[in-house]
Amino acid sequence: MKYFEDIKAGDVAELAARHVSEADIIAFAVKFDPQVFHTDPEAAKQTAFGGLAASGWHTNALMISMLVERFKTESLAAIGSPGVETCRWLVPVRPGDTLTGRQEVLETWPSKSKPMGFVRSRTDLANQHGEVVMTMVGLGMIARRPEAAA
Protein backbone atom coordinates (compact mmCIF):
# COMPACT_ATOMS: atom_id res chain seq x y z
CA MET A 1 0.00 0.00 0.00
CA LYS A 2 1.01 3.59 -0.64
CA TYR A 3 0.22 5.75 2.40
CA PHE A 4 0.18 9.46 3.24
CA GLU A 5 3.83 9.28 4.32
CA ASP A 6 4.81 8.17 0.80
CA ILE A 7 3.43 11.32 -0.88
CA LYS A 8 5.47 14.49 -1.32
CA ALA A 9 4.91 17.90 -2.94
CA GLY A 10 6.22 17.75 -6.50
CA ASP A 11 5.21 14.13 -7.11
CA VAL A 12 3.83 13.78 -10.64
CA ALA A 13 1.65 10.99 -12.03
CA GLU A 14 0.67 10.48 -15.67
CA LEU A 15 -2.91 9.23 -16.01
CA ALA A 16 -4.26 6.60 -18.42
CA ALA A 17 -6.09 7.95 -21.47
CA ARG A 18 -9.83 8.11 -22.07
CA HIS A 19 -11.48 8.20 -25.48
CA VAL A 20 -14.71 10.22 -25.70
CA SER A 21 -17.29 9.31 -28.35
CA GLU A 22 -20.32 11.26 -29.49
CA ALA A 23 -22.50 8.55 -27.92
CA ASP A 24 -20.67 8.91 -24.58
CA ILE A 25 -21.18 12.69 -24.60
CA ILE A 26 -24.88 12.44 -25.40
CA ALA A 27 -25.56 9.60 -22.93
CA PHE A 28 -24.03 11.52 -20.01
CA ALA A 29 -25.72 14.77 -20.97
CA VAL A 30 -29.19 13.30 -21.50
CA LYS A 31 -29.01 11.91 -17.97
CA PHE A 32 -27.36 14.81 -16.13
CA ASP A 33 -26.79 17.95 -18.24
CA PRO A 34 -29.41 18.10 -21.02
CA GLN A 35 -28.45 21.39 -22.66
CA VAL A 36 -28.56 21.29 -26.49
CA PHE A 37 -24.83 21.91 -26.92
CA HIS A 38 -24.26 18.65 -25.00
CA THR A 39 -27.13 16.54 -26.43
CA ASP A 40 -27.91 17.54 -30.03
CA PRO A 41 -25.11 17.64 -32.64
CA GLU A 42 -27.21 19.63 -35.14
CA ALA A 43 -28.65 22.20 -32.72
CA ALA A 44 -25.21 22.57 -31.10
CA LYS A 45 -23.88 24.12 -34.33
CA GLN A 46 -26.06 27.19 -33.65
CA THR A 47 -24.66 27.70 -30.13
CA ALA A 48 -21.51 29.43 -28.85
CA PHE A 49 -19.83 25.99 -28.86
CA GLY A 50 -20.27 25.67 -32.65
CA GLY A 51 -20.89 21.93 -32.30
CA LEU A 52 -21.37 19.17 -29.76
CA ALA A 53 -19.20 19.44 -26.64
CA ALA A 54 -19.04 17.27 -23.52
CA SER A 55 -20.54 18.55 -20.29
CA GLY A 56 -17.78 19.82 -18.02
CA TRP A 57 -19.20 17.47 -15.41
CA HIS A 58 -18.68 14.58 -17.82
CA THR A 59 -15.05 15.66 -18.26
CA ASN A 60 -14.73 15.69 -14.48
CA ALA A 61 -16.28 12.23 -14.22
CA LEU A 62 -13.69 10.97 -16.74
CA MET A 63 -11.00 12.70 -14.68
CA ILE A 64 -11.95 10.87 -11.49
CA SER A 65 -12.01 7.58 -13.44
CA MET A 66 -8.43 8.31 -14.58
CA LEU A 67 -7.36 9.23 -11.05
CA VAL A 68 -8.98 6.16 -9.47
CA GLU A 69 -7.28 3.91 -12.04
CA ARG A 70 -4.00 5.44 -10.90
CA PHE A 71 -4.89 5.01 -7.22
CA LYS A 72 -5.46 1.29 -7.87
CA THR A 73 -2.21 0.89 -9.82
CA GLU A 74 -0.37 2.41 -6.85
CA SER A 75 -2.50 0.66 -4.18
CA LEU A 76 -3.04 4.14 -2.74
CA ALA A 77 -4.82 4.22 0.63
CA ALA A 78 -7.29 6.86 -0.61
CA ILE A 79 -10.21 7.35 1.77
CA GLY A 80 -12.20 10.16 0.15
CA SER A 81 -12.10 13.85 -0.64
CA PRO A 82 -13.42 16.96 1.11
CA GLY A 83 -13.83 18.75 -2.22
CA VAL A 84 -12.40 20.89 -4.96
CA GLU A 85 -10.60 24.23 -4.62
CA THR A 86 -10.96 25.34 -8.22
CA CYS A 87 -11.80 23.87 -11.61
CA ARG A 88 -11.74 25.50 -15.05
CA TRP A 89 -13.03 24.10 -18.33
CA LEU A 90 -10.68 25.75 -20.82
CA VAL A 91 -11.36 24.10 -24.18
CA PRO A 92 -14.46 22.14 -25.26
CA VAL A 93 -14.13 18.33 -25.24
CA ARG A 94 -15.34 17.11 -28.65
CA PRO A 95 -16.60 13.77 -30.02
CA GLY A 96 -13.58 11.62 -30.91
CA ASP A 97 -11.21 13.34 -28.47
CA THR A 98 -8.72 11.30 -26.49
CA LEU A 99 -7.93 12.80 -23.10
CA THR A 100 -4.72 12.25 -21.20
CA GLY A 101 -3.96 13.55 -17.74
CA ARG A 102 -1.29 14.57 -15.30
CA GLN A 103 -1.55 15.07 -11.56
CA GLU A 104 0.98 17.00 -9.51
CA VAL A 105 1.04 17.10 -5.72
CA LEU A 106 1.15 20.70 -4.48
CA GLU A 107 1.09 20.28 -0.71
CA THR A 108 0.54 17.68 2.01
CA TRP A 109 -0.32 18.00 5.69
CA PRO A 110 -1.36 15.51 8.37
CA SER A 111 -4.76 15.57 10.06
CA LYS A 112 -4.53 16.66 13.69
CA SER A 113 -7.43 14.47 14.78
CA LYS A 114 -7.51 11.39 12.54
CA PRO A 115 -5.02 8.80 11.26
CA MET A 116 -4.86 10.38 7.80
CA GLY A 117 -3.40 13.27 5.90
CA PHE A 118 -4.54 15.75 3.28
CA VAL A 119 -3.10 16.14 -0.20
CA ARG A 120 -3.69 19.21 -2.36
CA SER A 121 -2.98 18.43 -6.00
CA ARG A 122 -3.49 19.87 -9.46
CA THR A 123 -4.87 17.69 -12.22
CA ASP A 124 -4.75 18.78 -15.86
CA LEU A 125 -6.44 16.95 -18.74
CA ALA A 126 -5.30 17.53 -22.32
CA ASN A 127 -6.71 16.49 -25.69
CA GLN A 128 -4.85 14.83 -28.57
CA HIS A 129 -3.81 18.28 -29.87
CA GLY A 130 -1.96 19.02 -26.61
CA GLU A 131 -4.54 21.60 -25.50
CA VAL A 132 -5.32 21.60 -21.78
CA VAL A 133 -9.10 21.14 -21.67
CA MET A 134 -9.53 21.18 -17.88
CA THR A 135 -7.45 22.12 -14.86
CA MET A 136 -8.46 21.39 -11.29
CA VAL A 137 -6.99 21.84 -7.84
CA GLY A 138 -8.51 19.27 -5.54
CA LEU A 139 -8.10 17.79 -2.08
CA GLY A 140 -7.68 14.16 -1.12
CA MET A 141 -7.55 12.27 2.15
CA ILE A 142 -5.01 9.44 2.43
CA ALA A 143 -4.64 7.01 5.33
CA ARG A 144 -1.44 7.17 7.38
CA ARG A 145 0.89 4.21 7.48
CA PRO A 146 -0.44 1.98 10.27
CA GLU A 147 2.73 2.19 12.42
CA ALA A 148 2.74 6.01 12.05
CA ALA A 149 -0.93 6.26 12.97
CA ALA A 150 -0.55 4.04 16.04
* Residues contributing to the site for a copy of itself (CB under 8 A): 28, 31-35, 37, 47-49, 55-57, 60-62, 64-65, 68, 71, 78-89, 116, 141
State the DSSP code for 57: H
Nearer to a copy of itself, 10 or 106 (CB): 106
Render 70-138 in DSSP notation, one character per residue: HHHHHTB-EEEEEEEEEEEE-S---TT-EEEEEEEEEEEEE-SSSSEEEEEEEEEEE-TTS-EEEEEEE
Smaller CB separation from a copy of itself, 61 or 105: 61
CB-wise, 10 or 38, nearer to a copy of itself?
A: 38
CA distances from 136 to 7, 47, 83, 101 (A): 19, 26, 11, 11
CB 1 to a copy of itself: min, Å = 14
| Residue 117 CB, nearest approach to a copy of itself (Å) | 13
Quote the least distance from Cβ 96 to a copy of itself, whole Å: 20
Q: Nearest approach, Cβ of 52 to a copy of itself (angstroms)?
A: 13
Least distance between a copy of itself and beta carbon 80 (Å): 6
> Which DSSP category does 22 fall into?
H
- Nearer to a copy of itself by Cβ, of 49 and 100: the residue is 49
User: Residue 92: is it exposed, middle or buried by C-beta count within 10 angstroms (0-12/13-18/19+)?
Assistant: buried
The total of other beta-carbon atoms located within 10 Å of residue 62's CB is: 23
Nearer to a copy of itself (CB atom), residue 49 or residue 118: 49
